[in-house]
Structure 1
Amino acid sequence: MAERLEQRYCITFCQKLGDNQAETVRKIQQAFGDDAMGVTQIKEWFNRFKHGRMSADSEQRSGRPSTSRNADVIEKVRTLILEDRRLAIREVADEVGISRGSTNTILTEDLGMLRVAAKFVPKPLPPEQQQLRVEVAQDMLECANRDPEFLKKAPYSPDMAPCVFWLFPRLKTPLKGSRFDRSEDIIQNATAQLHSIPKEAFQNCFQRWKDSWAKYVESQGAYFEGD
């Protein structure tokens, strides 16, 4: 805990000296090595100090829960992972305020997830669900060839949703590290980013989606990541 506090003081020091987020992250990682806070946490504290926060102490909690695996904690972990599946276990643990061991248990046992490449996904599906993914992918390929105006979604398959693998990252990346005081500001900035995406990008996404269906069929419904 003391080391975390020390790092927060270093973050506010960097921010006051005029360093940007990237420079601050680099310096914290250089100074603390493997014990450095996660990138997400460094940026979050950087923004807090930038927007006027004076104290480097953590927020006081109104009592510690009797168990770190209660429904509220599990839901917080679920929400964080759904927002950014590339978060490290350390970053999730720091954000929620539980140990890394408890975080790992919640992810693997309570939420049934594992890490594939650099992203958390549901655990390998049973054969019947994998077969369903194959059938849906085959149907989508056939429908796309007949009529582009269609939509069909396989269950247990966030990796097959264009919003997950393409649109959300396109919206989140330009806004990462930003902090908004009003929900209206979030809507306005997100809408502006959405409107800035050219039509050709959506067309390329659809082609990438079609190419993915063939891979789902070839892989017999297994999860995969990347082109």
Structure 2
Amino acid sequence: MSFCPSRAKIQYCVKLGKSAKETLKILQKAYGKEAMSRSRCFVWHSRFKMGRTSLDDDGRTGRPSTSTTPENVQEIEQIVREDRRLTIKEIAYMVNMSFGTVQAILTSNLNLHRVAAKFVPRLLTAEQKQQRIKVCDDLRQQAQDDPTFMSRIVTGEEIWVYDYNTETKQQSPRLKKARQVKSATKSMLVVFFDIHGVLHHEFIPHSQTVNAEIYCNILRHLRESIRQKRPKLWRHGNWVLHHDNTSAHRGLETQDLFANTNTIIIPHPPYSPDLAPCDFFLFPKMKFKLKCYHCKTVEEIQNASQLVLDTFKQQDFQRAFQTWQERWQRCVAAQGDYFDGDGGQI
């Protein structure tokens, strides 16, 4: 289908002050499965936000751009802000720039690097470091004072699962040329687990994104899963929830649900995927295992994800929670900075 009508709607949404995620939801509601992909929507939203007026494609010479213009820097910044799990290859494809140019913009212009598979600021502010120290200190103290604390934590997050996943550094030999092409076939997975294993997971319908309303429904499903799978924890009513700071998790409707159900939330410092079990444990391991599957449909992606989740054993989750406690200690020892072994070149 021609995407000019979609681009016009994106341009209109930008004029109304809609975010890229809000704009994507509008497109998906209007066009369903024929809607523009999330990545292209974000690219055009960024372009219109920077003042572009034309709805037409730029002429392509066949060679990616190598220019680090202010416009290119701003466009990439907007894309990363919307999805910090994108790889350099994916961003380069989205904006038609070379890998080296995107890498230079991310590291030199935007001062970003990867921690636990997410782009984060290369240099944290003093306030951000102090917040990381405080959260880790508080959680360490709770774990020391209460032997049941770790067993009462339920943690979870969302992730896009594609019909392939970009190679991890362990999987990709340095001398081999990248040979994968990104597919639009994908499904968003939400997973919650505790020290014993997966408690609840579900896939978000294609035409939806995770906003506060949808997240509240997911949380209600999670509560029912806890009631059925962890009856003792449910009877005591002392389980606590850990998740990151996305807007859906902080929304007013979500906060009302927490208040009405007396749900206690464990604090999570901003820009800290190294302190989130989903980011440093579950999702990287899922990504690795999904390499063995070749999926062509959303249903196949979801079935493969289910099979991969079933491969994790209780001791895997126990080790992850032990590692989580060790990371609190390492964060404090590093004075709130990202600690050795978790970051890396991108």
TM-score for both structures, normalised by structure 1: 0.58
Q: 2:274 touches 2:280 (CA, 8 Å); kept in 1?
A: yes
Query: RMSD value over aligned CA atoms?
Result: 3.4
Q: Tell whether 2:58 aligns with 1:63.
A: yes
**3-state SS of the aligned residue for 2:124?**
coil
Of Structure 1 and Structure 2, which has the larger fraction of its residues in helix?
Answer: 1
Structure 2, unmatched stretches of 5+, are: 1-55, 66-70, 153-239, 243-265
Structure 1 residue 140: Cα displacement: 1.1
1:1-227 mapped onto 2 (5 Å cutoff): 62-64=57-59, 68-69=72-73, 71=75, 74=77, 82-84=85-87, 91=89, 95-96=93-94, 97-100=96-99, 102-108=101-107, 111-114=110-113, 121-145=120-144, 146=146, 147-148=149-150, 149=152, 150=240, 151=242, 152=266, 153-176=268-291, 178-226=293-341
**3-state SS of the aligned residue for 2:270?**
coil
Q: 2:117 touches 2:279 (CA, 8 Å); kept in 1?
A: no
Q: 1:93 touches 1:99 (CA, 8 Å); kept in 2?
A: no
Identity %: 35
Structure 1 residue 206: Cα displacement: 0.2
For 1:205 and 1:110, the matched residues in 2 are separated by 34
Q: What is the total number of aligned residue pairs between the two structures?
A: 161
State the Cα deviation string for residues 165-209 of structure 1 (Å, max 9, x = none). 110111010112744221121111111111110011100100010
For 1:64 and 1:75, the matched residues in 2 are separated by 22
Q: 1:74 touches 1:110 (CA, 8 Å); kept in 2?
A: no
Cα 1:105–1:83, aligned 2, differ >3 Å: closer, same or farther? closer
TM-score for both structures, normalised by structure 2: 0.40
**3-state SS of the aligned residue for 1:82?**
coil
Cα 1:181–1:78, aligned 2, differ >3 Å: closer, same or farther? farther
Cα 1:155–1:93, aligned 2, differ >3 Å: closer, same or farther? closer
For 2:82 and 2:321, the matched residues in 1 are separated by 27
For 2:290 and 2:72, the matched residues in 1 are separated by 31
